[in-house]
Structure 1
Amino acid sequence: MITIYTDGAAKGNPGPGGYGAILDYKGKRKELSEGFRKTTNNRMELLAVIKALEAIKKPGWNVLVYSDSKYVVDAVEKRWLDGWVKKGFKGKKNPDLWKRYLEASKPHNVKFQWVKGHAGHPENERCDELAVQAAEGLDLKVDEVFESGPDTNPLF
């Protein structure tokens, strides 16, 4: 079992944003984070999960993801995502990231557990610190799909 903890942050929505993730396997931990110059909180919440799953090198793992994002947790656990896929993501935000999530999760058995944000959960608090630090960093990346907008990107 690999346990993943994630969080996303955006200063303004949209605005500068970042994600933080912790992967834990038998007490060995790896932290991930990146910042972007203009994005949304939901994009960062989802990207944290994606980046963590993409960091797992071998297929076939049972993965438990802890997230304080109802958007992400409910989309998967309540199977909203299945309906979005069937409808080609029509009218849904972030189809680029949801498609990337589907690819990243495919090799594994992924389950989600919602945790209340800013409630003292140590790993969630650490992910929040990582996400905020990344969002406030000087070397912010471009969220290409978000910044290109619906008029120029065929995924919207």
Structure 2
Amino acid sequence: MSTDTPGWKRMAFKNNKVWVETGPAGDLLVQDGKVRIKYQLDQPHEYRVHKESLRPLDRPGAAPATSTVKSPAKKKPVPAKNFAGNGTEVAAAMAEKDAIQVFTDGAASGNPGPAGIGVLLIYGNSQKTISRYIGHATNNIAELKAIEAALLEIKNKKLPVRLFTDSAYSLGALTLGWKAQKNVELIAGIQKLMRTFSDLKIFKVKGHAGMAENETADRLATEAIQKLAE
């Protein structure tokens, strides 16, 4: 019995079964060498991967028929974790239906210069965006301010939160113990805010790599600066 759905095809990706977007003829829909995948068809998020990383389910070594992607079990409050560079972890986090998905970005024209932040929050079928000018700042400050604004926007801190940023600096300063020479007070304030959440994880994603939500956050940050110039 076929497991395919019009427009999507069942394949294996890193030992997980995923849905892969297909064209009218049933072939993979490739753009810039990558294809869209979803872990569940009804999830609001998508992820782009290289077509070479996919394989048919009936090929040896493919994911078994019983393979499933499960949301992590609820745990006691823990510090944010870094899964930078692990595409499978990022994709799995984006597939967690019970979590608030947060995408942040910051931009500065001149670095330092006029700066803005962009935030996209998704919970179920609800979305909220933030596009805000923050004055004269560096790009690193804008990235941190975007994360701060996103966390302040979330009122129910008992819900799991998955935050995605393309800023290695922010991830390192907030979760990896990097010794910051600047922005010390801002970083400490955000870390204090992070500790008020029961289940918060921060992920590093690659910027300008086709992730729709990250591109939206980038656009919101840039628009905040552009509106000032108009």
- Whether these two folds match at TM > 0.5 is yes
Match of 2:200 in 1: 110
Q: Separation in 2 of the partners of 1:36 and 1:59? A: 25
User: Which one is further off, 6-15 or 24-33?
Assistant: 24-33
Counterpart contact for 2:101–2:121, Cα < 8 Å:
yes
4+ residue runs of structure 1 moved beyond 3 angstroms?
Answer: none
Question: What's the CA shift for 1:69?
Answer: 0.2
1:2 equivalent in alignment to 2:100: yes
1:35 equivalent in alignment to 2:145: no
Question: What's the CA shift for 1:136?
Answer: 1.9
Counterpart contact for 2:174–2:187, Cα < 8 Å:
no
Q: Separation in 2 of the partners of 1:78 and 1:103? A: 15
Deviation sequence 1:45-80 (CA, Å, 0-9, x none): 011111000001122232111000000112234233
Q: CA RMSD in A?
A: 1.7
Q: Indicate the SS of the match to 1:137.
A: helix
The letter for the 2-side match of 1:57 is K
Question: What's the CA shift for 1:32?
Answer: 0.9
The letter for the 1-side match of 2:119 is A
The letter for the 2-side match of 1:131 is A
- Counterpart of 1:57 (choices 155, 174, 178) is 155
Question: What's the CA shift for 1:110?
Answer: 1.8
The letter for the 2-side match of 1:132 is T
The letter for the 2-side match of 1:104 is L
Kindly report which structure 2 residues correspond to 1:76-91, keeping only aligned pairs within 5 A, or say none: 76-80=174-178, 84=179
Counterpart contact for 1:19–1:48, Cα < 8 Å:
yes
Q: Which runs of 5+ in 2 are unaligned?
A: 1-98
Q: Separation in 2 of the partners of 1:47 and 1:37? A: 11
Match of 1:149 in 2: none
- Counterpart of 1:124 (choices 198, 201, 214) is 214
Alignment size in residue pairs: 130
Q: Separation in 2 of the partners of 1:72 and 1:106? A: 16
Question: What's the CA shift for 1:125?
Answer: 0.5
Structure with the largest fraction of helix: 1
Q: Normalising by structure 1, report the TM-score.
A: 0.77
Match of 2:186 in 1: 97
Aligned CA distance change for structure 1 residues 33 and 96 (closer, same or farther; 3 Å): farther
Question: What's the CA shift for 1:124?
Answer: 0.6
- Counterpart of 1:25 (choices 123, 131, 136) is 123
Q: Indicate the SS of the match to 1:138.
A: helix
Q: Separation in 1 of the partners of 2:134 and 2:119? A: 15
Question: What's the CA shift for 1:28?
Answer: 1.1
Q: Which runs of 5+ in 1 are unaligned?
A: 140-156
Q: Normalising by structure 2, report the TM-score.
A: 0.53
Greater RCO structure (CA 8 Å; 6+ sep): 1
Give the number of the structure whose alpha-carbon radius of gyration is greater: 2
Match of 1:134 in 2: 224
